[in-house]
A and B are shown apart, each in its own frame.
Chain A
Amino acid sequence: MTRYLLRRAPSALIVLWLASVLIFLVIRAIPGDAAAAMAGPDASEEAIAAIRHDLGLDLPVFTQYLHWLGGLLSGDLGRSYLIGGDIAGLVGEGFANTLTLTLAALVIAVLVALLLGPIWAATTNRWVDRVLTGFHTAAVALPPFVTGVVLIIVFGVFFRLLPTGGVPPKGMFDRLDITAQYLVLPAVCLALPVAGVLTGFLAETLRGELRQDYVTTVRAAGVKRREIVVRHAMRGALPVAITTLGLQTGALLGGAVLVESIFSWPGLGLLVEQGITRRDYPVVQVLLMLSVTVFVLVQLLTDVIHAYLDPRVRLGAQT
């Protein structure tokens, strides 16, 4: 296991390093002088120069990159130009909210897939199949900003059952039942595409498993169809499902930005949006790097779990 991780880690690190160079250069290429923007329109040349020196913007680009990278690695994320304050503080706060939202969505997606995937694979009823096919297509295709707005209109405006957005007025941890009310719509909205993809893959892999010879054998021995799906076929299908889940991290990260914007959920997505509209590039830079890091690490983790569950991957890696 460790050996597999050691073999896969370098290429992940190279991707992360290249991404950091790319992000740094791209953000640096944005026209406009950050120091002048910060100092305001009436600032004197000396004031602007002082701010520039203060931010380290007068150093050569290469040195600036090394400072930034060194800061990232040691946990110093730098300072925000405009929103104000330490980026680590801003990011920490948003990260907790985004994590809550994403984990809730992940739980919903996995539960839906674990429920619907086996049903879809095993069903012989034409209507069940049609309904699930429809759910799968719609869930995979419809963007979060469509499902999100529909959810808001139905549950928030029409039936007035749930809040249309925002966070609990007294904070996330004051009363969990109220937090759940604020969380459910954005989480469902974020979960839908992932649930759709996961259900589809799980059902397809299960169908493949059900065609295997061993299933015929077990079936001949008198084991019920449902039990075969749950006890036997699932074991073969799980590694594929986990890999699929790992590949959906990107959809979750991108989706979270959209969902947070639609439901005014104060997470990293809202912070990115603010950073861009206010041209607060150090914040955008850190958030881009953070999302790439999460994405790459989750994929690495997925590969490792896959290798753990499926010896063929692990053993194939050693030859």
Chain B
Amino acid sequence: MTATLEAPEPVEVAVPDRPRHFLRGKGLVGLVLVGLVIVTGLLGPLLVSWDPYEQIPGANLLGPSGTHLLGTDDLNRDILARLVTGIRVDLLIAFTAVPVGALVGCAVGALATVNSVLDVAVQRLFDVLLAFPQLILAIGLAAVIGPGTTSVVIVIVCVEIPVFGRLLRAAVLRVREAQFVTASEVIGAGKAHVLRHHVLPNSLEPILVQLALSLSVAVFIEGAMSVLGIGVSPPHPSIGSVLTTSLRYLDLNPLFAIGPLAVTAVLVLGFQLIAQAANAARGA
């Protein structure tokens, strides 16, 4: 028995077509830029035959050539190999620290709205943390925990906690005033239910935008801490540490710096464009 089903009439949906809007222009460019760097970080170390830690005899500060595409550094290591491994380190730092900071920040921000005394305390704490310019906070923390990859991660987490905390708190306060929340409270919804089913979905968009921005900040902080000598410690490579080494040889081999400069620029711009496009798509 066969039954033909009428194709249902297409329903006009009032919801804006966000993904498609996001993928036009800036969003697409941003995704491509970030994607390029991620693919380079994932595949690069497999394609470059040199070991990022190997000191090649006689290859001191060579310029770019067929064997060493970006040249070699002061300790006779292949710069390209160090750069692509450095991308992995940076991506690992950014994609660990930012989500952790976001989760902790959101949790603290959400908890604070439950109790007014707690709220004041948390707000003051965020005020104090935000009273430190990001890099100054990084310097202070690095002074205590000492330089290294762990301290870069901790700094980024500490920078992001108040940012996401504020964001979620503002979202909670805004949504709580909405009529549909009052309505659901009238029919007996508890605080946890309101938080889970109303506040979180409604604050997801600003949080996603902030995530993209924070990832770009994370790359910035890693590079900055390396430049200041408190970042990923040698002999480990990172985008920032390769750049920092190149600073000493700008006169000798300006091309040394090109690799890390390009990667940092592409990554940071990419995340920024994604954030801008996501922000614009929210209003679409």
Does chain A have a CB within 8 A of B251?
A: yes
B139 touches A15 (CB 8 A): no
In the assembled complex, the CB of B250 is this many whole angstroms from the nearest CB of chain A, namely 6
8 Å CB contacts to A: which residues of B233-284?
A: 240, 243, 246-247, 250-251, 254, 257, 261, 264-265, 268-269, 271-273, 276
Give the distance in Å from the alpha carbon of A220 to the alpha carbon of B268 in the complex.
45
Chain B residues with CB under 8 Å of A273's CB are: 228-229
Contacts of B223 in A (CB 8 A): 143, 145-146
In the assembled complex, B152 has its CB within 8 A of some CB on chain A: no
Contact of A291 with B272 in the complex, beta carbons under 8 Å: no
Most buried by B among A138, A150, A258: A258
**B141 CB to nearest chain A CB (Å):** 8
| Chain A residue nearest to B269 in the complex (CB) | A141
Q: How far is the CB of A317 from chain B (nearest CB, A)?
A: 18
Residues of chain A within 8 A of B132, CB atoms compared:
19, 288, 291-292, 295
**B268–A149 contact, CB under 8 A?**
no
- Interface centre among A143, A250, A262, A288, by most chain B C-beta atoms within 10 angstroms, is A143
Minimum CB–CB distance for A143 against chain B, Å: 5
Chain B positions 127-164 with a Cβ under 8 Å from a chain A Cβ: 127-128, 131-136, 139-144
Are A254 and B135 closer than 8 Å at their CB atoms?
A: yes
Known: A251-B133, A261-B228. A157 touches B250 (CB 8 A): yes
Whether A29 sits at the interface, judged by CB under 8 Å, is yes
CB distance from A191 to the nearest CB of B (A): 16
Identify which of B139, B140, B247, B268 contacts A143 (C-beta below 8 A): B268
| Total A-B residue contacts, Cβ distance less than 8 Å | 127
Q: Is B200 an interface residue (CB 8 A)?
A: no
Q: Is A272 an interface residue (CB 8 A)?
A: yes
Q: Does A176 contact B (CB under 8 A)?
A: no
A23 at the interface (CB under 8 A from B): yes
Asked if A26 contacts B144 (CB within 8 A), the reply is: yes
A141 vs B270: C-alpha distance when bound (angstroms) = 9
The residues of B that contact A141 with a CB separation of less than 8 Å are 216, 268-269, 271-272
State whether B133 touches A145 (Cβ < 8 A). no
Q: How far is the CB of A319 from chain B (nearest CB, A)?
A: 20
Q: Choose among B131, B143, B216 the residue that contacts A27 (Cβ–Cβ < 8 A).
A: B143
Q: Within residues 97 to 131 of chain B, which ones have a CB less than 8 A from any CB in chain A?
A: 124, 127-128, 131
> A254–B134 contact, CB under 8 A?
yes
Specify which chain B residues have a CB less than 8 angstroms from the CB of A26 in the assembled complex: 140-141, 143-144
Once the chains bind, are A142 and B268 in contact (CB under 8 Å)? Answer: yes
Is there contact, CB below 8 Å, between A150 and B227? no
Q: Which residues of B sit under 8 angstroms from A22, Cβ to Cβ? A: 128
| Interface residue tally for chain A (C-beta within 8 Å) | 50
Q: Is the CB of A143 within 8 A of B220?
A: yes
| Contact yes or no, A29 B144, CB < 8 A | yes
Contact A157:B224 (CB < 8 A) given known A137-B273, A142-B265, A296-B131: no
Residues of A within 8 A of B276 (CB): 137
Whether A115 is near chain B, meaning CB under 8 Å from some CB there, is: no
Interface assignment of B230: CB less than 8 Å from any CB of chain A: yes
B251: A residues at CB distance < 8 A:
157, 164
Say whether A276 contacts B139, CB under 8 Å.
Answer: yes
Q: Which of B134, B227, B254 contacts A158 (CB 8 A)?
A: B254
Which residues of A sit under 8 angstroms from B264, Cβ to Cβ?
143, 145-146
Whether A145 contacts B250 by the Cβ 8 Å rule is: no
- A145 and B269 contact, CB distance less than 8 A: no
Q: Are B254 and A257 in contact (CB under 8 A)?
A: no
The B-contacting residues of A in range 275-304, CB under 8 angstroms, are: 275-277, 281, 284, 288, 291-292, 295-296
- A249 — nearest CB in chain B belongs to which residue? B133
A234 located at the interface, meaning its Cβ lies under 8 Å from any Cβ of chain B in the complex = no
Partner of A142, one of B143, B144, B247, B269: B269
Would you give 21 A-B contacts (Cβ < 8 Å), ordered by A?
A15-B131, A19-B132, A29-B144, A141-B269, A143-B268, A145-B223, A146-B265, A149-B250, A149-B261, A158-B254, A250-B134, A254-B133, A254-B135, A254-B224, A255-B135, A257-B136, A261-B228, A273-B228, A288-B139, A291-B133, A292-B132
Q: Which B residues contact A (CB, under 8 angstroms)?
A: 124, 127-128, 131-136, 139-144, 216, 220, 223-224, 227-230, 240, 243, 246-247, 250-251, 254, 257, 261, 264-265, 268-269, 271-273, 276
A interface residues (Cβ-Cβ under 8 A, vs B) = 11, 14-16, 18-19, 22-23, 26-27, 29-30, 137-138, 140-143, 145-146, 149-150, 152-153, 156-158, 164, 249-251, 253-255, 257-258, 261-262, 272-273, 275-277, 281, 284, 288, 291-292, 295-296
Given contacts A257-B135, A288-B132, 11 further A-B contacts (CB under 8 A): A18-B124, A27-B140, A141-B216, A141-B269, A143-B223, A149-B246, A150-B261, A250-B133, A281-B143, A291-B136, A295-B132
